[in-house]
Structure 1
Amino acid sequence: MDYLRFAAMDYLLFVFMFGVSCIIGIYFGCFHKQTTTTDYLLGGRKMNVFPVSMSLVASTLSGVSLIAIPAEVYMHGFQIFVIVFSIFISSIINYFVYLPVFYKIGLTSVNDYLEIRFDRTIKRITSILYIISCILLMPFLIYAPSLAFNQMSGIDMHIIAPVMTIICVFYTTIGGIKAVVWTDTLQFLITLCTLAFVLVMGIVSVGGFSVIWTKSKSGDRLNIFNMDPDPTIRSSFWSVFIGNVFTWSSLVSVNPAGVQRFISVSKLRDAKKVLAIFTVFAIAAKAINCFSGLIVYAKYSDCDPLTAKYMQKSDQIVPYYVKDVASQIPGISGLFVAGIFSTALSSLSTQLNSVSGILYLDFMKPCMPVNISENKSSTIIKLLTILLGLLNVGFIFVIEQLGSLLELLSSAVGITGGPILGAFTLGMLFPVANKKGTLVGIVSSLVVISVIIIKNQIYVWNGDIKITPKPLNSYGCNKTEYDEQNRTVFSTIQPDSDSIFWLYKLSFHYYVFIGTAITIIVGLLVSLCTKKKSDLGIDHELFSPCLHRFRSSQRPEVDQDLKLVKYTFSNKK
Structure 2
Amino acid sequence: MGGLVAADYIVFGVLMFMSAAIGIFYSLVGGRQKTTKEYLLANRQMGLVPIALSLLVSFQSAIMILGYTAEIYLHGVIFWMTNVGVAIAIFLTGLAIVPFYRPLNLTSSFEYLERRFQSKAVSRVGSFMGLLGGILYMGTATYAPSTAVEAVTGFPLWMSILIASLVSTFYTSIGGMKAVLWTDVFQFLVMEAGIFAVLGKGLSVAGGIENVWNTVYDGGRMEVLILDPNPTTRHTFWGVVIGSAFTWFGVYATNQASIQRISTAKSKTQARWAVFLNIPGLLSLSIPVCLLGMIVYTYYTQLACDPMQSQENINSGNQMLSLFVSEIFESNPGVSGLFLATLFSGALSSNSSTMNGSAAIIWEDYFKPHFSHWPDWKQTLFTKTVVVIVGVLGMLVAFLCMTVGGPVTQISLSFGGATAGPLAGLFLLGGLFPWANWIGACVGALSSFGLLFWISIGAYVTKIKSYNPPVEPVPISGCHFTAENVTFDNVTSYMTSYMTSTGALETTSMGYLNGTESPGAEYTLTGLEYLYAISYMWYGCIGILLTLLVGMIVSLITGPTHPSDVDELYILPGYRRLFYGKSSKMLDFEKSDEICAGKKYEDVMLETFIERDSQDKSRKDSG
TM-score category (smaller protein): over 0.9
SS in 2 for 1:545: coil
Give the alignment partner of residue 479 of structure 2, picking from 471, 477, 480.
477
**Paired residue for 1:51?**
50
What is residue 619 of structure 2 aligned with on the other side?
Answer: none
What amino acid is the match of 2:320?
Answer: I
User: SS of the residue aligned with 2:2?
Assistant: coil
CA distance in 2, matches of 1:468, 1:340: 30
In 2, Cα distance between equivalents of 1:469 and 1:165: 38
What is the CA distance between 1:260 and its match in structure 2?
Answer: 0.8
Q: Alpha-carbon deviation of 1:444?
A: 1.8
- Per-residue deviation at 1:289? 2.0
Matched position secondary structure for 1:74: helix
Cα deviation, residue 426, structure 1? 1.1
C-alpha contact 2:68 2:80 (8 A) present in aligned 1: no
Equivalent residue number for residue 453 of structure 2? 450
What is aligned with 1:77? 76
Displacement of 1:190: 1.7
User: Equivalents in 2 of 1:272, 1:132: separation in Å?
Assistant: 27
Residue 93 of structure 1: aligned partner: 92
> TM-score, normalising length from structure 1?
0.93
| Residue 356 (structure 1) aligned with residue 355 (structure 2) | no
Quick check: 251-260 or 173-182, which moved more?
251-260
Query: 1:541: Cα distance to partner?
Result: 2.1
- Displacement of 1:535: 4.1
- For structure 1, the 5+ residue unaligned runs are 569-573
Partner of 1:498: 524
Alpha-carbon shift at residue 288 of structure 1 (Å): 2.2
Q: Is the 2:23–2:179 Cα contact (8 Å) retained in structure 1? A: yes
Q: Secondary structure at the match of 1:547?
A: coil
| Amino acid paired to 1:487 | M
Q: Cα 1:448–1:484, aligned 2, differ >3 Å: closer, same or farther?
A: closer
Change in Cα spacing, 1:311 to 1:546, as seen in structure 2 (3 Å) is: same
Match of residue 230 from structure 1: 230
What is the match of residue 563 of structure 1? 610
Q: Indicate yes or no: 2:539 matched with 1:511.
A: yes
Return the alpha-carbon distance in structure 2 between the equivalents of residues 374 and 567 of structure 1.
25
Structure 1 residues 513 and 479: alpha-carbon distance in aligned structure 2, compared to 1, 3 A threshold? same
| Residues matched between the structures, number | 563
Gapped regions of structure 2 (runs ≥ 5): 506-512, 515-521, 587-604, 616-623
Counterpart check, 1:149 vs 2:149: yes
CA distance in 1, matches of 2:417, 2:285: 23
Q: Give the corresponding residue for 1:571.
A: none
Q: Is the 8 A contact 2:232 2:467 kept in 1?
A: no
Q: Once the two structures are superposed, what CA deviation does each residue of 1:73-126 show, in whole Å capped at 9, x if it has no partner?
A: 111111101112102211221123222111121111111000111122101110
SS at match of 2:310: coil
**Equivalence for 2:438:** 435
Q: How much has 1:140 moved relative to structure 2?
A: 0.9
Contact 1:71 1:293 (8 Å CA) reproduced: yes
Displacement of 1:540 after TM fit?
A: 2.1
Any idea what the Cα deviations from partners look like across 1:217-252, whole Å, max 9, x if unmatched?
A: 121111211011111001010111111101111221
Aligned-residue offset at 1:63: 1.1
Give 1:6-155 correspondences, 5 Å limit: 6-32=4-30, 33-118=32-117, 119-155=119-155
| Structure 1 stretches of at least 4 aligned residues deviating more than 6 Å after TM superposition | 463-466, 553-557, 565-568
Evaluate the alpha carbon distance shift between residue 77 and residue 366 of structure 1 in structure 2; reply closer, same or farther with a 3 A threshold. Answer: same
**Partner AA of 1:56 in structure 2:** L
CA RMSD of aligned residues (A): 2.3
Q: Separation in 2 of the partners of 1:163 and 1:108? A: 30
Whether the 8 Å contact between 1:28 and 1:175 is mirrored in structure 2 is yes
Task: Give the letter aligned to residue 96 of structure 1.
Answer: L
When structure 1 is superposed on structure 2, of 84-93 and 236-245 the one drifting more is 84-93
> 1:179 offset after TM fit, Å?
0.3
Q: Is the 8 A contact 2:234 2:534 kept in 1?
A: yes
Paired residues for 1:262-281 under 5 Å: 262-281=262-281
User: Cα distance, 1:555 vs. partner?
Assistant: 8.6
Whether 1:524 and 2:532 are equivalent positions in the alignment is no
Please give the per-residue CA displacement for 1:200-229, whole angstroms capped at 9, x wherever unaligned: 211111111111111111211112110111
Q: Do the aligned residues in 2 keep the contact of 1:472 with 1:487 (CA within 8 Å)?
A: no
When structure 1 is superposed on structure 2, of 43-52 and 326-335 the one drifting more is: 326-335
Aligned AA for 2:524?
D
> Does the Cα contact within 8 Å between 2:233 and 2:535 map onto a contact in 1?
yes
In structure 2, what is the Cα distance between the partners aligned to 1:156 and 1:443? 39
Which whole-Å deviations, capped at 9, do the CAs of 1:460-483 have from their partners, x for residues lacking one? 2xx777868732311122228868
* Aligned partner letter, 1:80: F
C-alpha distance in 2, partners of 1:117/1:174?
A: 34
- Aligned residue number for residue 495 of structure 2: 487
- Which has the larger displacement, 513-522 or 444-453? 444-453
Within 2, Cα distance between the matches of 1:277 and 1:411? 26
Give the AA of the match of 2:498.
Answer: F
Selected match of 1:322 from 322, 325, 331: 325
After superposition, the C-alpha distances for 1:274-317 in whole angstroms (9 at most, x for unaligned) are 01211211133222222221111011112111111251221100
Alignment check: 8 A CA contact 1:83 1:240 kept: yes
User: CA distance change for structure 1 residues 377 and 224 in 2, over 3 Å: closer, same or farther?
Assistant: same
1: CA distance, partners of 2:561 / 2:491:
72
Q: Residues 477 and 491 from structure 1, CA distance in 2 versus in 1: closer, same or farther, beyond 3 angstroms? A: same
Q: State the distance in 1 between where 2:52 and 2:252 align.
A: 12
Indicate conservation of the 8 Å contact 2:161/2:399, yes or no.
no
Match of 2:422 among 415, 419, 427: 419
1:331 match: 334
Aligned to 2:368: 365
8 Å CA contact 2:577–2:584 kept in 1: the answer is: no
How far did 1:18 drift?
A: 1.1
Corresponding residue for residue 383 of structure 1 = 385
Q: Is the 8 A contact 2:139 2:401 kept in 1?
A: yes
Question: Is the CA contact 1:55–1:184 (under 8 Å) kept in the aligned structure 2?
Answer: yes
- The answer to whether the 8 A contact 1:303-1:475 is kept is yes
Answering whether residue 372 of structure 2 is matched by residue 393 of structure 1, we say no
AA at the equivalent of 2:33: Q
Cα distance in 1 between the residues matched to 2:440 and 2:398: 37
Cα distance in 1 between the residues matched to 2:324 and 2:191: 16
Cα-to-partner distance string for 1:331-357 (whole Å, 9 max, x where unaligned): 111011101101111000100111122
Residue in structure 2 matched with residue 291 of structure 1 by the alignment: 291
The 2-side partners of 1:181 and 1:140 are apart by: 21
Is 2:138–2:394's contact at 8 Å kept on the other side of the alignment?
Answer: yes
Residues 297 and 566 from structure 1, CA distance in 2 versus in 1: closer, same or farther, beyond 3 angstroms? farther
Seen in structure 2, the aligned counterparts of structure 1 residues 567 and 66 have a Cα distance that, compared at 3 Å, is farther
**Paired residue secondary structure (2:479):** coil
**Distance in 2 separating the partners of 1:132 and 1:426:** 21
Amino acid at match of 2:549: I
Distance in 2 separating the partners of 1:473 and 1:487: 10
CA distance in 2, matches of 1:123, 1:141: 27
Amino acid at match of 1:307: Q
How far apart in 2 are the matches of 1:63 and 1:88?
19
